[in-house]
Structure 1
């Protein structure tokens, strides 16, 4: 009985894999006349080729293709082909070491780590310096700062503009510990929790001291990010609302979409 169940499950998995691959092979064909399609139009085209598929089945495979970067949703209810990939920056050995040190010492807190150099590929002019950043839930940030300060040099907690100007900009190998905004969009890559790109793009507008090198390129960065990566604009807008930057984000998104068209 177990063997029969195993065979049945294996056959089902194989069938789903074949169907997903089949849709992937068709997807370029649906966009042959237009770079963008409404969900209604795309689903209608799929049903012409796969009349036995239910709406749930189609939604499942569209979600899979979106996660793989094969298609993207530049706005609600609109699909386009993805020359687009998922945001998956390289996490350096130094950043991994910091993340794992915190995880061992504070296993139950919420935090993420990132490198300001991750935005360099989206910029025209490359900054001379970069920072390693640890964002920690507010109640634990001072404890994490004290812990890291015992073994690392040049660690700063929630630095203001004066601290940036007087100290940080003149130092190398800086680690910044700052409060993590609640419900911030985070992702996990190789067992390391990092900010989603949507979060970094909003923070770029809110944390002008930390992102001082990006302030003259916010339009270019947003446009490039939208061209290169699959971005969930609804997620970005929700986070922007929490950071009181919704109008600025909306404006940059519209500029980016207009330039893509």
Structure 2
């Protein structure tokens, strides 16, 4: 990449908190005569390098906050490795409940390993993990968790993976993006202990600490039928 063009882009991003491709293009045209296709390539590279972040469709910002990219623990890697070998064509999202802790206001222990997969595969995956002598629960609800689950143990919850859920690959493991995690906390019955005032604080902390793609967040919230609830929470928290 041209150092001069990159410098111009980053200088512009420093002054303009959120900016559109069109506005940046108009600015750079006067300075460099750059083509829009070339500018798109520069932006693509800078986003991949975590220098810029997409904040919406055709809008960008300089990365000022952390990128939410928690590392999978060894147990998660082992479980995913098992699943990959026996279900090579299935889609998964696998992560440990500990990744929620940095977002919480009132810290509560959650050492669960979450395995999400297609609805049609969930029971088969549950039986497979059970046969491997894992302590595993299929789509547990509030009552089941109250009665039988120690949230401070490394048991496994097998859940449905919503189609088009936003995922990220970290150390070879498909894990949830922050946008997915926030919506799931609002929607899923096994996150009952985080819902209400605590989920409001989690959302507030997430916006304060991390970069969030609003388009991705609201698109997934719409799929999970919590878009109105999420909008209301953001409005009450005065998050623009």
Q: Structure 1-normalised TM-score?
A: 0.80
Correspondent of 1:130 among 111, 117, 120: 111
Count residues in correspondence: 240
Matches of 1:255 and 1:83, distance apart in 2? 24
- 1:45: Cα distance to partner? 2.8
Matches of 1:20 and 1:137, distance apart in 2? 44
Unaligned runs of 5+ in 2: none
- 1:21: Cα distance to partner? 4.2
Q: Deviations over 1:42-66 (max 9, x none)?
A: 33333343x2211222222223333
Q: Matches of residues 174-193 of structure 1 in structure 2 within 5 Å? A: 174-193=155-174
Correspondent of 1:45 among 12, 17, 27: 27
Q: Matches of residues 210-225 of structure 1 in structure 2 within 5 Å? A: 210-213=191-194, 215-225=196-206
Correspondent of 1:243 among 199, 205, 224: 224
Q: 1:12 corresponds to which residue?
A: none
Q: Does structure 1 retain, via aligned residues, the 8 Å contact 2:18–2:55?
A: no
Matches of 2:204 and 2:48, distance apart in 1? 21
Q: Deviations over 1:182-238 (max 9, x none)?
A: 221122122211122211111111014335235432222222222333322212222
Larger radius of gyration, structure 1 or 2?
A: 1
Matches of 2:46 and 2:209, distance apart in 1? 16
Q: 2:211 corresponds to which residue?
A: 230
SS of residue matched to 2:191: coil
Q: 1:26 corresponds to which residue?
A: 11
Distance verdict in 2 for CA 1:127–1:244, change over 3 Å: same
1:161 aligns with 2:158: no
Q: Which moved more, 1:241-250 or 1:208-217?
A: 208-217
Q: Matches of residues 1-261 of structure 1 in structure 2 within 5 Å? A: 16=1, 18=3, 21-23=6-8, 25-27=10-12, 29-31=14-16, 35-49=17-31, 51-75=32-56, 78-169=59-150, 172-213=153-194, 215-254=196-235, 258-259=238-239
Q: 1:13 corresponds to which residue?
A: none
Distance verdict in 2 for CA 1:89–1:171, change over 3 Å: closer
Matches of 1:217 and 1:73, distance apart in 2? 28
Q: Does structure 1 retain, via aligned residues, the 8 Å contact 2:71–2:171?
A: no
Q: Does structure 2 retain, via aligned residues, the 8 Å contact 1:112–1:135?
A: yes
Matches of 2:43 and 2:235, distance apart in 1? 25
Q: Deviations over 1:3-55 (max 9, x none)?
A: xxxxxxxxxxxxx2545643465345543xxx444544333333343x22112
Q: Which moved more, 1:244-253 or 1:106-115?
A: 244-253
Q: Structure 2-normalised TM-score?
A: 0.86
Matches of 2:152 and 2:201, distance apart in 1? 28
Distance verdict in 2 for CA 1:162–1:113, change over 3 Å: same
Q: Does structure 1 retain, via aligned residues, the 8 Å contact 2:110–2:151?
A: no
SS of residue matched to 1:210: helix
Matches of 2:60 and 2:87, distance apart in 1? 41
Instruction: Report the RMSD for the aligned CA atoms in angstroms.
Output: 2.5
Q: Does structure 1 retain, via aligned residues, the 8 Å contact 2:92–2:161?
A: yes
